[in-house]
Amino acid sequence: MDKDSEGSTIDTTLNFEAADSVTSRRSDDVRPMMGNEAMARGAWEAGVQVGAAYPGTPSTEIMEFLSAYPEADVRAQWATNEKVALDVAIGASFAGARALSVMKHVGLNVASDSLMSQTYIGVNGGLVLIVCDDPGIHSSQNEQDTRLYARLAMVPCLEPSDAQEALEFTRLAFTISEEFDTPVLVRSTTRLSHTRSLVEVGERSDIEPTGFKENPHKNVMIPSNARTQHPRLIEREEKLKTYFENSELTKWEKGDKDVGIVTLSTSYVYVKEVLPDASILKLGSSWPLPSNIISEFSRSVKRLIVVEELEPIVEREILSMGIKAEGKAFFPRVGEFSPEVIRDGLETAGILQKQKNKLNIDITPTVRPPVLCAGCPHTSSYMAVKSLDARVAGDIGCYTLAAVEPLQAIDTCVAMGSSIAVATGMAKAGTETKPIIATIGDSTFLHSGIPPLIDAVYNDVNITVILLDNHTTAMTGGQDHAATGRSLRGDETHRVDFEQIVNACGVDWVRIADSYDLANMYQTFREAVEFKGVSVVISDRPCVLDPVKIRGETLVVNQSNCVACQACMNLGCPSLVWSDEMYDGHHKVKIDAETCIGCALCAQLCCTDSISALPKSK
Amino acid sequence: MNKQEKPNSITNVLIVGVGGQGVIMVSKVLARLCQRHGFDVKQSEVHGMAKRGGVVFSHVRFGEKIWSPTVSEGNADVLLALEWAEALRWLHYLKPKTGTFIADTQHIVPPFACLKRHRGAEQRYAQETPEEIVSQVAKGYALDATGIATELGNFRVSNTVLLGTLSTALAFDEADWRDTLAELVPPKTIDTNLEAFQKGRDWVEEVKKTPKKEKNTKKPNKIAPYQQQVKIQNDIQQDLIPVITAAWCKGCDICVKMCPERCLKLNTKEVVELVEPERCTGCRICEWLCPDFAIDVVKVPTPLNEEASKSKPASLPETV
Ligand SMILES: Cc1ncc(C[n+]2csc(CCOP(=O)(O)OP(=O)(O)O)c2C)c(N)n1
Ligand code: SF4
Ligand code: SF4
């Protein structure tokens, strides 16, 4: 069986539609879909015409799936960052088309500025934002709850609980957007985005775009117009409240009257799993809340419990209505929910009996964190950075993995694009005796690294910026960006030239170095650090996984020559492991032939010249 | 298996392994098969870091109606592991009295297992043997699926070998398994995959025939030699330490650059110094590379304890 990529790439294999031999009792329009695929489908069925996103786990596949629909239906694109993605969607909405913007939770921080004004303006064509949260922090820098943004922007926030709802809610979001003249948030979570379940699909509704509607009072946010729009938001909120009171999105499931559960999103399916007989009020939107039905529900049960992942938003809102409710007393405010978490909470609440049925075997799990790939060009860049004994402001991407053993080459990591300005701040503080370096990936640089670079030049600081150009957005599964020369659909397009951009920002010292040439990297970095002012080194080597898997000749360690100094292992290449042979109490090293890609970086580090290419067999 | 025979019952399968092994492919075949039989099915995995050699797991739940996408601890009817340490990591998910445990005995040693550099350092990898585990679970199969796949000429089909083993634990028709597998793998690899699938089934047949005692055939590779070596090395009562003859050092920086642990540094007088003695592993690289023979790595008789290593430079005053 061929190994699937298991990254955030599009998966076409599980296309159940193709199989006609299916002996399913379900209709032909039912197929297994990942939550992300279902949301793309929902948008397509709603007649979306423009889609823009910046990748980010777990949201990435949504735009990839959307781009698989015909271009005549929908223009789907990668944007340079989330704010650009939202602005593109806003523009399309102005032009009267239905538009979608997709991002991960932290992406909304970047895009929030536009959202906060657009909510005053409203929409022309339906405008929907899908935002994916990451409870449990599977691959993010924080665990923020997007629903707080919905409150701040006073926009509805639909929260589907499974893939079927993901499709339906996304489709409906466009209607709500146009009917109530508001942007609409659809909030997913990692679990929903990455779970496959059976989904009944529908057809695309052909919506004729209306074209631009001239209306400066509504479309131009200057103070006088904003002042008249703000009260409109409050009216809109009331109307939405009424809508959710009567909408099919709000579901009352009658059951046991002792406990009533108010829940939404994936928490709902966990509750159904653990407490199938309870009375449940399932909300479709966490904002604004249908207060009448909630209070009616609360009167019908003896005890009201709110089950929601992350922040107690619904719980506090219910409490503020003067209704007695419990929730976060039993369920954590951090981490991902699961049936176990819900069960534990209900046990603490005295609703379920304690249950113990686990195998009693005590095992210390083997530590297996994600690591940089064998042959990753970032490994050698950071080897060279380490030789400088510098203070290193890191950024977000695969290269953040250089923060852990054995490289341990990054001192800080804040948010996308922060590194350069953080380095500037360190330099301005004047407390640092070591050279100050910022390391930033190519996609991150385009996302939000250019303004801070201009700032560094403008304010004349002495820092070195290392632009790790691996020709892709690797961490999220290898998406194209403005400097790869390819669009989301794989078509050839304009390509940004990093050296020119850096020069144009006013940087006087720029070099390009191949990160597979370690000696040259050491030398170039040294010169860069010695330069007084802003110096930039662009390390230039493609990622070994994306867009194409790179494999060269496998290397071997000559066991009789290896002195077990393990200098090569400082790279952290996962193909380098201990061999069974020892030298003077230390393990010699061997190379795993299955995973080595033959980058020869380890050979460059070997003090005894023990690493060389595998002799060719005839 | 169809819904009439098993009313309202839900089957939970947890498939685990390491990035790149094909965990998700196995779970796709199973999910597809369940769908063909008219079951409701949910398949849930968290990817993102999987490509970087991290842990991969996929929950497959099927039955009349499925709510939670994830299996709860202690509730897996089958735990299928494509790697030994991963099998152990998820063991507590298995149903204690009835769960079936299927695991490849192969070891994929993570780089983190080989991080400690001092003499006699231990590899940090699971110590439990297949015999120990299989004897403690309700139903257990530990096989060298990677070995079987390698014999077939493609170690990558080890996941299909295990799928074959899994097929004996779930009551779908053998022909259905084969059809679904053939449908989902790339056309060119169908034959190899079907062969691998058969091997996995055959292995179970063999085990059923042989008397109970020798149920699991292979020992985990390599674990014993490491443990033996570690034992010997822990007896070493000596430590190695570089002794620097300051007068001979001309500050060329070679040892500083080449020290794998970066524990040497030039001081203000451009003479090399051992600044991080606790990091020194005594590998002798500096001694060998010094063009002026200014460094000697000598054996210092000392118990291997913290304090002794911290006080090292102080105990060698005349030479540093
Ligand atoms: C605001 C924000 N948007 C998106 C992400 C998701 N994300 C994390 S790393 C990354 C890609 C970084 O790509 P690049 O800088 O090229 O580094 P590489 O992974 O290729 O080494 C993205 C998009 C994020 N963490 N924060
Ligand atoms: S995916 Fe590419 S950039 Fe990321 S660790 Fe692997 S080689 Fe490096
Ligand atoms: S050549 Fe060396 S560093 Fe490169 S992938 Fe192979 S073992 Fe790793």
pLDDT in tens, B158-168: 999 999 999 99
The single residue listed with the structure tokens 């000697």 is B296
Mean pLDDT of A528-549: 94
Residue B64 neighbours by CB distance under 10 Å: 13
Token code pair at residue A360: 């009693």
Cβ of residue A544 lying under 6 Å from some atom of ligand 1:
no
pLDDT in tens, A8-43: 333 322 223 333 333 333 446 788 899 999 999 999
Rounded Cα gap, residues A415 and A106, in angstroms: 9
Lowest mean pLDDT among A143-152, A200-209, A332-341, B41-50: B41-50
In this predicted structure, the answer to whether residue A2 has a pLDDT above a threshold of 50 is no
A141 Cα nearest atom in ligand 1: 25
Which residues in chain B are contacts of A582 at CB distance < 8 A? 229, 233
- Rounded-to-10 torsion of CA A232, A234, A239, A243: 130
* pLDDT for B301: 62
Q: Determine the residue of A84, A400, A443, A445 to mutate for testing ligand 1's pocket, defined as the one with the most ligand atoms within 8 A of the Cβ atom.
A: A443
Q: How far is the CA of A473 from the centre of ligand 1 (A)?
A: 6
Q: Where are the domains of chain B?
A: 10-222, 236-309
Contact A323, A298 (CB under 8 A): yes
Tell me which amino acid residue B69 is.
P
Token code pair at residue A217: 């009072």
Contact A480, A428 (CB under 8 A): no
A 450-479 residues inside an 8 A Cβ radius of B: 476-477
In this predicted structure, the answer to whether residue A240 has a pLDDT above a threshold of 50 is yes
Q: How far is the CA of A389 from the centre of ligand 1 (A)?
A: 26
Percent of chain A with pLDDT over 70: 94
Length of chain A: 618
CATH superfamily for domain B10-222: Pyruvate-ferredoxin oxidoreductase, PFOR, domain III (3.40.920.10)
Alpha helices (H) in A154-251, listed in sequence order: 163-180, 190-193, 216-219, 223-246
* pLDDT for B320: 30
Assign domain A555-613 one CATH number from 3.20.20.140, 3.40.50.300, 3.30.70.20, 3.40.50.970: 3.30.70.20
| CA quadruple B81, A359, A194, A310: dihedral sign | negative
* pLDDT for B49: 64
Same topology, domains A378-540 and A555-613? Answer is no
SS (H, E, C) A548-604: CCCCCCCEEECCCCCCCCCCHHHHCCCCEEEEEEEECCEEEEEECCCCCCCCCHHHH
Token code pair at residue B36: 């063909």
Tell me which amino acid residue A454 is.
I
Contact A393, A399 (CB under 8 A): no
Q: How far is A293 from chain B (nearest CA, A)?
A: 25
* pLDDT for A616: 62
Determine the topology of domain A2-246 in CATH.
Rossmann fold (3.40.50)
CA atoms within 13 A on the CB side of B131: 7
Q: Where are the domains of chain A?
A: 2-246, 251-348, 378-540, 555-613
pLDDT in tens, B73-132: 999 999 999 999 999 999 999 998 899 999 999 998 888 888 887 777 788 888 888 988
Assembly ipTM: 0.89
pTM of the model: 0.89
Determine the topology of domain A251-348 in CATH.
Rossmann fold (3.40.50)
Tell me which amino acid residue A557 is.
V
> Residue A395 — pLDDT band, cuts 50, 70, 90?
very high
CB–CB contact B89 A366 (8 Å): yes
Rounded Cα gap, residues A32 and B27, in angstroms: 13
Contact A94, A124 (CB under 8 A): yes
Range with the largest mean pLDDT of A321-330, B127-136, B252-261: A321-330
Rounded Cα gap, residues A237 and A233, in angstroms: 6
Rounded Cα gap, residues B170 and B13, in angstroms: 10
Determine the topology of domain B236-309 in CATH.
Alpha-Beta Plaits (3.30.70)
Lowest mean pLDDT among A128-137, B43-52, B136-145, B185-194: B43-52
pLDDT in tens, A498-537: 999 999 999 999 999 999 999 999 999 999 999 999 999 9
Considering only the top CATH level, what class is A378-540? Answer: alpha beta
In this predicted structure, the answer to whether residue A164 has a pLDDT above a threshold of 80 is yes
Which of A32, A367, A574 lies nearest to residue B124, judging by beta carbons? A367
- Give the SS3 label for residue A445: helix
In this predicted structure, the answer to whether residue B2 has a pLDDT above a threshold of 80 is no
- Give the SS3 label for residue A469: strand
